[in-house]
A = this chain, B = another copy of it.
Amino acid sequence: MKNVKLNKRERHTRLVEKLKEDPFLTDEELMHMFNVSIQTIRLDRLELGIPELRERIKNVAEQSYSKVRAIGGTEIVGELVDINLGTSGISILETDETMAFLKTSIVRGHNIYAQAESLAIAVIDADVALTGVANVKYKDLVKAGEKLIAKAEVTRKRANKYFVHVFTYVGQKQVFRGKFILASIEQKN
């Protein structure tokens, strides 16, 4: 690994990087990485305002958990900010580099699609819903870091089929439009 001792400044920047990559590292593991004592790591965290392992893990857990929890178990891509079951809903997705092409930082289509599709499913007032048909158009490019606001509206319901329209915006600009036909599944097992 790193068998050379860095100075404080360098160690601090690297420490922040390391923990960004992997927030599950204990002080002990970090101490070996940087070849300093555990006290030094703790002083560093103190100076940098980095919480302890258990807090870090908890933060990661709570973040993603509250999103899922809001709707009571349904898995959603993005954060649900408003929902009227059976009629409409809004979700927000903060894009980042991991969702984009390396070279261009342009967000890949399937991330935008995933947000829209999962919102469409969430809006349906049914236990389990599946996409039958989707008709989508990407109207403009989305760059990593932009915030996607998706608005879904149920336009029609026929038997167990739902027609849902989703429009996604970055600010005022529409970047995506999708029509989904969803089927709610009956538990017939």
Interface residues of A (CB under 8 A from B): 23-24, 54, 57-58, 60-65, 67-69, 71-73, 75, 77, 96, 98-99, 101-104, 106, 108-111, 113-114, 117-118, 127-128, 130-138, 141, 185
Do the beta carbons of B128 and A102 come within 8 Å of each other?
no
A106 CA to B106 CA, complexed, in Å: 30
When the two chains form the complex, which single residue of B71, B101, B134 contacts A136, counting CB atoms closer than 8 Å? Answer: B134
The SS class assigned to the A binding surface is mixed
State whether A75 and B132 are in contact (beta carbons under 8 Å apart), knowing that A57-B57, A57-B58, A69-B98 are contacts in the complex.
no
Picked from B68, B114, B134, B137, the residue with its CB within 8 Å of the CB of A114 is B114
Asked whether B101 lies within 8 Å of A128 as measured between CB atoms, the reply is: yes
**What is the count of identical protomers in the complex?**
2
Q: What residues of chain B lie closer than 8 Å to A134, measured between beta carbons?
A: 109, 113, 134-137
Q: Write out the residue numbers on chain B whose beta carbons fall within 8 Å of the beta carbon of A61.
A: 24, 57-58, 60-61, 64
Chain B minimum-CB-distance residue to A182: B109
Contacts of A58 in B (CB 8 A): 24, 57, 61
Contact of A138 among B99, B118, B132 (CB under 8 A): B132
Known: A64-B60, A68-B98, A132-B137. A110 touches B114 (CB 8 A): yes
* Given A24-B58, A103-B128, 17 more pairs with CB closer than 8 A: A24-B61, A24-B62, A57-B57, A60-B61, A64-B64, A64-B65, A64-B67, A68-B98, A71-B98, A75-B108, A106-B128, A108-B117, A110-B114, A110-B117, A113-B117, A130-B141, A132-B138
A77 to B24, Cβ gap below 8 A? no
Indicate whether A104 sits within 8 Å of B185 (C-beta atoms), given known contacts A117-B109, A138-B132.
yes
